[in-house]
Amino acid sequence: MPSQQKAKIYQQEWERRLHDVQVSKDDLNRLVMDFLVIEGYKSTAEEFSKEAGMDAPVDFDSIENRMNIREALQRGDVGDAITRVNDLNPEILDTNPSLYFRLQQQKLIEFIRQGQIAEALQFAQEELAPRGEESPEFLAELERTMALLAFESSPMMPSSVSELLSTAQRMKTAAEVNAAILESFSQGKEAKLVGLLRLLCWGEALLEERADLPKVCSVQSWNWLELTDE
């Protein structure tokens, strides 16, 4: 049976349809403000709030606190990050054992990265081993981290182990902490603008199965989504 022929939508028609969709300025302003707050652009959010005549959706100082925590994790100072999280809201780690384990795991990784092997072994035994006994997931992650010592700088080290020493691992931990802080403030974990762009790209892919249409979700858009996901 021959496949159904795709409909053809031309650039001019597609742009006309897009322009017919009305979005209020207030909705756009809220999307921009939400993005600035979630992503941590404090000074820009403050200035935008004044220019748009919007009430501050959050205490802007809380944005700076989140960014200080994220920056501490990205430079490998896990102890400073934990202290700052507890100063901000001690319940965040008290009620989230998985997140606390991730932070302790990151601290162990930093010991190994700095060549502090004795400290790493002691920290793993005293802080992480007891938690590994409580959860198969924690135990598997502890074993994966300790494999860094077994392989050291060997070219035979599996990528699943070597990736723990990457900058992306620090960023992943920082993103998890940032999401937990946002959730504790009853805010979304992801900027609504990012979600809308992801939905646009998904919708375009679905439409392409039935019609030939101009590209809306460009390669640049996908690259930007990937950056915000890191």
The confidence score (pLDDT) of residue 214 equals: 64
Average pLDDT over residues 169-192: 86
Q: What is the pLDDT of residue 1?
A: 43
Q: How far apart are CA 191 and CA 119, in angstroms?
A: 39
How confident is residue 188, by pLDDT bands cut at 50, 70 and 90?
Answer: low
Average pLDDT over residues 84-101: 94
What pLDDT score was predicted for residue 223? 52
Measure CA 2 to chain center: 45
Of 224, 187, 177, 179, give the one whose Cα is nearest residue 33.
Answer: 187
Q: How confident is the model at residue 42 (pLDDT cuts 50, 70, 90)?
A: confident
Tokens of 39: 């992503």
What average pLDDT does the segment 86-115 reach?
Answer: 95
What band does 164 get if pLDDT is binned at 50, 70 and 90?
very high
48: helix, strand or coil: helix
**What average pLDDT does the segment 157-163 reach?**
92
Other residues' Cβ atoms within 10 Å of the Cβ of residue 97: 13
Q: What six digits make up the tokens of 147?
A: 């494999």
Given this model, what pLDDT does residue 229 score? 53
Q: Please determine, for residue 50, whether its predicted confidence score (pLDDT) is greater than 80.
A: yes
Strand partners, 7: 211
Q: What does pTM read for this prediction?
A: 0.73
